[in-house]
Structure 1
Amino acid sequence: MVSSTPPSSHATVGKPDRSPIWVQILVLLALLTLELLLSLVMGRISWNETDVLPLARHFADPTWVAEDWYLNQPAGYRFLFQVIFGNMAAAWGFLATSIVGRFSCYSLFATGIVLLGRKLGLTTPFLLLAISLFLYGGCRELFVNCGSQQGAIANEWMVGGLEAKALAYSVFPLAIWLLLEGQYYGMALLMGLMTSLHVLVGGWVFLATIGWLLLNRKFSSEKPWHWGVIGLIYLGASLFAIQPVLNQLTSPAVTGVIQPSAIYVFLRLPHHLNPLSWASERWIRPIVLLILFTMSVTLIRRTQKADRQLGTLTSEQDASIGLAQFTLMALVPFVLGLIIAPVDTQGQLLQYYPFRLGDVMLPLSTGLLLSSVLQRSFTGQTQKIVLILCIVLLSVVFSTRTVNFFNQAVALREFPGKTQDIDATRRDFYTWIRNNTPTDAQIISPPVKWIDFTWLTERATIAKFKFLPQTKLGIINWYERLGDLGGIGSTWATIQPTQDNREEIEDQLTEGYNRLTTDQVIALMDKYQATYFATVRKHRLDLPIAHRNSDYVLYAKPTGM
């Protein structure tokens, strides 16, 4: 039965978990691997590997697709990521690099989560329950592409594909564990490393940590030099982030028909950055999470108060409250972002991702704290029933994910294929281009679709809607190039602060590209020094045909022009 009094911290389900730490890590790593390792590798949706891995390879080998405009963008905050994975991508290919990189991130993440779970006193079944809630709590359909839906509302994720933020988040649980352990110097080192890997992930985490330390009476009473040492360690470890930050803050303003920050926030990334455009039904999940989070913290505090009176207070309770306090600090920029959104009409502040950390911290900590409460809230026969239910649920998860993992592995035998949204006809079309056009050829390709064009043809192209540069000038050039490709000039999109109209923009660009006339295509070839124009076969132009198949055609620039 459920206890009518605040549960004792010593009332746990079954016997204390004596599993070796390496066993817990392996079990959690198995869950992450089955769910995420082969999910949409170099795919069109969810992850960004088609963006960041070609950039990394070009960074390591500038002769690879040397003429491509986007691949020649500055490394910026991705510098360390490109150093680590660029040569790997050049030597092993994108598939192997993605799998090895993902598995490395999952291993670090699982290690940190296990240490954090042990700090909270979670047994293995309830730790797995917590992470399952984190991974699957945002599912709109049962176990259908759920692993990427980790955030509360702003589409953020911690663990999944391979990119700079995935590396940064992989050490995040370790940093929080060190924070709760009071190992502040090690914590500062890891948070600095996170910032070097991804300046906004590490930066927001460190700011939340400063708030947490200020609230912590034990630390705030320490000598001032402790703050200085922590700051120096953090700055030293975040060395690779300093130059990108300075470049962003000191780069001159770019004049144009639209501000780069407005393009970034309202045109390209409103699903991450513009809360005014988020559909009303999307707010159900964060509201439910807040309710569960509040209930969990309230019950933990009641237990903490009762055990303090009995003299049985445990470190697990203090750690749970510490995690809750850090979550509240992570939600501060989230709330501030909601406040400034109606007045930040150019996205000058929203472009710095104020919702990022809180969006994933709320689901993660809610899962951990709720599992902790469930573990301690049942007595007698109910304990066994709860444990059995957890085991049954986890068995279903592991079984379904094992079958899915096997199917994904089989599908990768045809990499790239359907998982990457590539059919045989387009793959053959790409192969012909790679084998029969000059390596330095500039090829005009659709502005929205075919995001795999560059890495599969190994030929330069003009621009893609998905691939947004990170500099002010680069963003303006991206905007102008897409306008040219869509045949709609330099004012092809208007800011709509209360709408996420990416689909309409993509349709507009695609339809405009497919309506380009022969004269417009020749003008584009002249402007961008292109020698070929790739399109669907039904797009008929009065130009020489270099190659065509049943679905696609490659037009060549007329000789003598």
Structure 2
Amino acid sequence: MLRPTMNEANPVDCTTASSPRRGWIPFALESLAITLLFALYVSALGPEVNEPHYLCKAKQYWNPAWLPHDFFLSAPGAHYTFYWTLGWLTLFFPLPVVAWIGRVISWLALAAAWRWLSFLILPQKWCSIATAAIWLVTLHYGHLAGEWVVGGVEGKTFAYPFVLIALGLAIQNRWNPAWVSLGIASAFHILVGGWAVVALGVAWLCVGRRSAPLLTMLTGLMGGGLISLLGLVPALLLTAGLPDEMQSEAHQLYVFYRLPHHLVVHRMSSLRQICFVAVAAGWAIFAWTTRGDRNTALVNSFAFGSLSIAAVGLAIDQICCYWLGDFDLGAKLLRFYWFRLSDVAVPLALSLSVGLRLFGAEQQPRRSTLRSVSIAVVLLATTIGLTLRVASRLTAPMPPADEMASVSDYAAWLAMCGWIRENTATDATFLTPLNQGTFKWSAQRSEVVTHKDIPQEAESLLGWKERRWRTNRYERLTTDQIRMLSRDYQIDYVVVDKQARPTFQGWDFPRVYPVDEHSDSPYEIFRIQSR
């Protein structure tokens, strides 16, 4: 479908190979400008949506005495390369500082990788900034399964720069280091790197197999495979040794209850499906118009590979959930995030193809007006899209993690968490509102369970289900029922959001917060006595 018209590299390859050495100042300036674009796109103080989830886990990995009774933090993890890389900083800096350090490092790495990749496709100064902006806008508005690249720091934010590096190395016909780069990506996030290996394999079949026979790539494939074990082995251990029926229940809980918006196509919104189809259609058009360029053909073949993976996920969804009605098999297969890479790769290929078409090859004079109009339309649409995104973030009443977790009163929430840090024991355990996700981040105390913090290890996932079921709407429970939960889960305090539960009547336990009985804080804290 995307076979190039010739196998040898374009003449551009010779100039671009040495451009980072000859033009390191433009490279550095453009990379910095793209990094600032990423920062503008995020546009908010922390925490971002997944940062409490990942960084609290990393902190507890390096300091097991921190929140020792927290259920989620005590469960086995899967992102140890991320913990080893960034987690040790939590021994010396507060979590928000570590988050910003991780963001800046990952954004700089992604920006430098993008500038390099974009320049290989479109060797003109400053154009990489435009292609990065187009990528951000199409990814933000055109995703299907909620995947993102630029945001808070977590494992995948370190994985994606190595995916871009691998694409650039493949364009230069350096396939062995490309596979090693994807091995590093897999070590940080096994699914990001693993699916990228499959998609780049498709690109090799379409574009690279004549210039790089399989036997010549064995060294890189073996090296990358060995490195990827750092991410693969912990992932495999998450379900090791459990009976089949427990694994089946855990998989269905994970796929169909907790994360269907990422994993199950028929549970994704129609708007998201339409937007993704529109982006994919635009990519197909521009991929066809730039098919004669070998470098772009390789990137487009990578996007085609990601769509092939998504097509398999779609087939699994339809066959297992509708034709066979086998939700056990469906959950077992759909848990591998079949739609993750296409959310990123299709906008990536579209942005580079658009950039090449509009800013690249010389146009005939009679087409110069049309070209200028096209450039103006694309830049205007990109600017509007980014402006809307930035404006929404700058005017948001609270950080993304709290907004997504439905914290009813952000200022009151922070005040309560600050009181907890100052007035309760560091090893105390709290029963907290299920839908919030930043209590550990802000209060730095253990909690029983939250909807956001779902373990990935199968046995712990079933424990999460039990805890969530037993504590659901705990404001309606009696004093004796709360006392029973306290004995089972070693609860010291209970937090109640009266704004979310206006019918709450209270218990026979002493209320310790707010201290002022005339306070209008929507949050109350009760100390559990006599477990």
Regarding TM over 0.5, the answer is yes
Kept in 1: contact 2:203–2:299 (CA 8 A): no
Structure 1 residue 332: Cα displacement: 1.4
By how many angstroms is 1:54 displaced? 0.8
Structure 1 residues 257 and 98: alpha-carbon distance in aligned structure 2, compared to 1, 3 A threshold: closer
Unaligned segments of structure 2, at least 5 residues: 1-9, 12-18, 322-326
Pairing 1:39–2:10 present: no
Q: Return the offset for 1:214.
A: 3.2
CA contact (8 A) 1:155 1:272 kept: yes
Matched, 1:426 2:413: yes
Q: Summarize the Cα distance change of 1:372–1:535 in structure 2 as closer, same or farther, 3 Å threshold.
A: same
1:7-60 CA distance string (max 9 Å, x none): xx99xxxxxx99832232222222112222x435214xxx30011111111111
Distance in 2 between the 1:417 and 1:275 partners?
Answer: 27
Is the aligned partner of 1:523 residue 2:512? no
Q: 444, 447, 451: which is aligned to 2:434?
A: 447
Given candidates 49, 53, 71, the residue that maps to 2:55 is: 53
Q: Which residue of 1 aligns with 2:296?
A: 320
CA distance in 1, matches of 2:346, 2:205: 21
* Structure 1 residues 416-458: Cα deviation after superposition (integer angstroms, max 9, x where no partner): 9989956332222222222222222222112223x22122222
* 2:29 aligned with 1:23: yes
Matches within 5 A, 1:235-246: 235-246=225-236
What is the DSSP-based 3-state SS (H/G/I as helix, E as strand, rest coil) of the residue aligned with 2:335?
Answer: helix
Letter in structure 2 aligned against 1:318: R
1:161 counterpart = 2:152:
yes
- Map 1:261-410 onto structure 2 (within 5 A): 261-301=251-291, 304=292, 317-342=293-318, 343=320, 345-346=327-328, 347-375=331-359, 376=361, 378-380=363-365, 381-382=368-369
Q: Identify if the C-alpha distance between structure 1 residues 296 and 424 changes in structure 2 by more than 3 Å, giving closer, same or farther.
A: closer
Structure 1 CA distance, aligned partners of 2:276 and 2:85? 35
- Residue-by-residue CA offset, 1:176-225 (whole Å, 9 max, x unaligned): 1001111112112211111111111111111222233233464476362x
Any conservation in 1 of the 2:77–2:457 contact (CA below 8 Å)?
A: no
* CA spacing shift, 1:396–1:40, aligned 2, 3 Å: same
* Distance apart, 1:393 and its partner CA: 6.9
SS at 1:155 equivalent: coil
What do the CA deviations read for 1:152-172 (whole angstroms, capped 9, x no partner)?
211111222100011101222
Contact 2:207 2:297 in 1 (8 A): no
Distance 1:358 1:387 in 2: 26
SS in 1 for 2:251: helix
Q: Which runs of 5+ in 1 are unaligned?
A: 1-8, 11-16, 139-148, 305-316, 487-511
Q: Secondary structure of 2:69's partner?
A: coil
Q: Using the alignment, how far apart are the partners of 2:403 and 2:335 within structure 1?
A: 34
CA distance in 2, matches of 1:441, 1:545: 16
Structure 1 residues 124 and 402: CA distance shift in structure 2, 3 A = farther
**SS of 2:92 mapped into structure 1:** helix
1:136 maps onto 2:154 in alignment: no
Corresponding position: 1:171 with 2:162: yes
Q: 2-side partners of 1:417 and 1:325: how far apart?
A: 39
CA distance in 1, matches of 2:197, 2:387: 38
Distance in 1 between residues matched to 2:189 and 2:243, nearest whole Å: 24
Question: What is the alpha-carbon distance in structure 1 between the residues aligned to residue 251 and residue 404 of structure 2?
Answer: 33
| Equivalent residue letter for 1:215 | C
Contact 2:449-2:468 at 8 Å conserved across structures: yes
Tell me what 1:207 maps to: 198
Alignment check: 8 A CA contact 1:292 1:370 kept: no
**Structure 1 position 395, deviation (Å):** 7.2
Q: Is the 8 A contact 1:254 1:472 kept in 2?
A: no
> C-alpha separation between the residues in 1 aligned to 2:477 and 2:123?
61
Relative to structure 1, is the Cα distance of residues 276 and 397 closer, same or farther in structure 2, using a 3 angstrom cutoff? closer
Query: Partners in 2 of 1:245 and 1:256 — Cα distance?
Result: 17
Q: What SS does the aligned partner of 1:62 have? A: coil
**8 Å Cα contact 1:130-1:371 kept in structure 2:** yes
Question: For residues 149 and 33 of structure 2, what CA distance do their matches in structure 1 show?
Answer: 19
Letter of the structure 1 residue corresponding to residue 193 of structure 2? G
One-letter identity of the residue aligned with 1:533:
V
CA contact (8 A) 1:34 1:405 kept: no
Report the number of matched residues: 487
User: Match for 1:84: what amino acid?
Assistant: T
- Do the aligned residues in 1 keep the contact of 2:429 with 2:446 (CA within 8 Å)? yes
Indicate whether 1:113 and 2:114 are aligned: yes
The sequence identity of aligned pairs, in percent, is: 23
Q: How much has 1:108 moved relative to structure 2?
A: 1.2
Q: Which whole-Å CA distance do the structure 1 matches of 2:403 and 2:255 have between them?
A: 31
- Cα distance 1:397–1:125, how it changes in 2: closer, same or farther (>3 A)? farther
Q: Per the alignment, do residues 221 and 541 of structure 1 end up closer, same or farther by CA in structure 2, a change over 3 Å counting?
A: closer
CA positional deviation for 1:256: 5.5
Cα shift at 1:134: 2.1
Task: Report the residue type matching 2:192 in the other structure.
Answer: V
Residues 61-102 of structure 1, C-alpha deviations (whole Å, 9 max, x = no match): 1111112111112232x1011122222133221222111211
**Cα distance in 2 between the residues matched to 1:522 and 1:411:** 34
Amino acid at match of 2:446: A
Inter-CA distance 394–443: structure 2 relative to 1 (3 Å threshold): closer
Query: Once superposed, which parts of structure 1, at least 4 consecutive aligned residues long, lie more than 6 Å away?
Result: 388-408, 415-420
Q: 1:279 to 1:515 in 2, by over 3 A?
A: same
What aligned pairs does 1:470-489 form with structure 2 within 5 A after superposition? Answer: 470-486=456-472
Q: TM-score, normalised by structure 1?
A: 0.79
